[in-house]
Structure 1
Amino acid sequence: MEIKFAKTVGEINFCKEVILGFRPNLEPETFADQILCMMKSEYFKLAYIPDEGGTKAAAFIGYRTLSTLRTGKMIYIDDLYTDEAHRGKGYAGALLDLVTKEAAQIGAPSVQLDSGYMLHDAHRLYLNKGYFLACNHFAKLIA
Structure 2
Amino acid sequence: MRQLRPHLQEDGFVAVVRAQMAEGYRLAYLLEDGEVACVAGYRIHRNLMMGKSLYVDDLSTDESARSQGCGARMMAWLREAALDAGCAEIHLDSRVQRHRAHRFYLNRNMDIVCHHFSEQLR
Is the TM value for this pair above 0.5? yes
1:114 aligned to 80, 87, 93, which one? 93
Paired AA for residue 129 in structure 1: R
Residue 99 of structure 1 is matched in structure 2 by 78
Structure 2: distance between partners of 1:57 and 1:32: 17
Is 1:38 the counterpart of 2:20 in the alignment? yes
SS at match of 1:121: helix
Query: What is the Cα deviation at residue 85 of structure 1?
Result: 1.2
Question: Residue 49 of structure 1 corresponds to which residue in structure 2?
Answer: 30
2:10 to 9, 24, 28: 28
Q: 5+ residue gaps in structure 1?
A: 1-18
Q: Which amino acid aligns with 1:26?
A: L
Three-state SS of the structure 2 residue aligned to 1:30 is: helix
TM-score of the aligned structures, taking structure 1 as reference length:
0.80
> How many angstroms does 1:20 deviate by?
1.4
- The structure with the largest helix share of the pair is 1
Give 1:37 shift.
Answer: 2.2
| Residue correspondence of structure 1 range 68-79 to structure 2 within 5 A | 68-79=47-58
Q: Find the aligned partners of 1:140 and 1:37 in 2 and give their Cα distance.
A: 23
Aligned to 1:90: 69
Structure 1 segments (4+ residues) deviating >6 Å: none
| Aligned residues: CA RMSD | 1.2
**Shift in Å, 1:64:** 0.2
Name the counterpart of 1:66. 45
- Quick one: distance in 1 between partners of 2:62 and 2:84? 29
**What do residues 118-138 of structure 1 show as CA deviations (whole Å, max 9, x unaligned)?**
212211121111100001101
Q: How many residue pairs end up in the alignment? A: 122
Identify unmatched segments of 5+ residues in structure 2.
none
Cα separation, 1, equivalents of 2:92 and 2:109: 13
1:81 to 57, 60, 63: 60
Q: Report Cα offsets for 1:22-59 as digits up to 9, x if no partner.
A: 101212112112212211x211111112342x2x4221
Shift of 1:83: 1.5
